[in-house]
A and B are shown apart, each in its own frame.
Chain A
Amino acid sequence: MARAWDVPGLVPDARFRDAAGRVILTRWREMMSYREGTLRGEDIEYLHAMRVSSRRLRAAMDAFADVFPPKSFRRHLKVVKSVTDTLGGARDLDVAVDHLSGLLPGLDDEDRPGVEGLVARYRVRRRGEDAHIQALFERLDEEDYARRFERWVCRHTGVDARGLDPRPPGGGS
């Protein structure tokens, strides 16, 4: 599983509001860094990493909820939750196919049709999930959501994502 990115400038005696901006924007950028790999769909680990990051982001938002006005907070949390949920459907099927395919070599002949049938069904359903993922990202793009989210966080915490510039462990891009 992908490691969480370090949060730039987070110090032990930080103000709660400042820490909120740094942690949330780092987790946001971390989550979005897996977007292209998820859309390409060549490696299921990108989707997994994006989903894990979205959970970390939600946890950070919950932790610092008191920094934000309740109404706009709920709206943004709902969007992040939609990312987790949309990716979750695909991830569950990826895991199920992987698990069941791994069982196949050790099965009795009598048990094979049932498990092969289940794998085939899950594969069909998994292809359908790609359309949901594509639609989610298109909607976020149409709404210019990334810029809006980062500006919302900046407005209430004073932390600007451009100045923060979080990077993955090891400093790559």
Chain B
Amino acid sequence: MAKPRPVAGVRPHKRVRPNARRILAVRIDEVWAYGDDVRDPGRVTELHDMRIAFKRLRYLLEIFDVAFAADLEPFIDEVKDLQDVLGDVHDCDVQVPLLEEHLAMLEVHGGVTDAGGGGDERPGIRTLIARRRAQREQTYAAFLTEWDRLQREGFRGRLEAALGIAPGA
């Protein structure tokens, strides 16, 4: 998991708003830094890191919301939606290898173990793997649709404007 970049110039004795701007500018930039990589569905690590970056951004927006006059709730909702759909993609990326490992173990035991009540456990696991793979394709496509929409609608620029952050700061 990518560590958050350090934020320079935070001054604890000052007010929340200017410090929040500095922190949020860096965290927004971290999300968008993955913009090109995640167009490749095979970039599992980058998709996961983008989810974490979205999550950090969402929590920060919730924490610092009080310091800004603009209504941040619509932005928080959008960020949460992207975080959730990337979470679904990640669940599939984690589950499929685990199920494949389980299937390999079952193959060694001829498909039958004490846990399965005597029947061949392999068909059910193969079905779960197939479902998860199909779900991965669907959720990735849903993510890409939403991500493209945010670009078209200038989400980043609107969020930075609401926070009083200079574009590309």
Contacts and interface: CB of A to CB of B under 8 A. Distances in A.
Interface of A: 4, 7, 10-17, 19-20, 23, 55-56, 59-60, 62-64, 66-67, 100, 107, 110-118, 120-121
Contacts of A110: 120, 123-124
Interface string B114-156: 0111111111111110000000000000000000000000000
A14 B15 contact: yes
Contact of B124 (A10, A11, A66, A107): A107
Given A12-B16, A15-B12, A117-B117, 17 more contacts: A7-B66, A14-B15, A15-B15, A16-B10, A16-B13, A16-B15, A59-B63, A66-B11, A112-B124, A113-B123, A114-B123, A114-B125, A116-B117, A117-B115, A117-B116, A117-B124, A118-B102
What 3 pairs between A and B have smallest CB-CB spacing?
Answer: A114-B124, A113-B119, A117-B116
A63 B115 CA distance: 46
Contacts of B119: 112-113
A121 B4 contact: no
Interface string B25-67: 0000000000000000000000000000000100110111011
B131 to A, nearest CB: 9
Q: Majority SS of interface residues in chain B? A: helix
Nearest to B94: A92
B17 interface: yes
B159 interface: no
Contact of A114 (B14, B60, B63, B121): B121
Interface size for chain B: under 10, 10 to 19, 20 to 34, or 35 or more residues? 35 or more
A106 to B, nearest CB: 11
Interface of B: 4, 7, 10-17, 19, 23, 56, 59-60, 62-64, 66-69, 102, 106, 113, 115-128
Q: Majority SS of interface residues in chain A? A: helix
Contacts of A10: 66
B67 A14 contact: yes
Contacts, number: 112
Given A12-B67, A59-B59, A66 B117 contact: no
A113 to B, nearest CB: 3
Given A15-B14, A63-B23, A23 B63 contact: yes
A60 B17 contact: no
Contact of A15 (B13, B68, B128): B13
Nearest to B126: A114
A66 B10 contact: yes
Nearest to A66: B10
B11 to A, nearest CB: 7
B63 A16 contact: no
Contact of B62 (A4, A16, A112, A116): A4
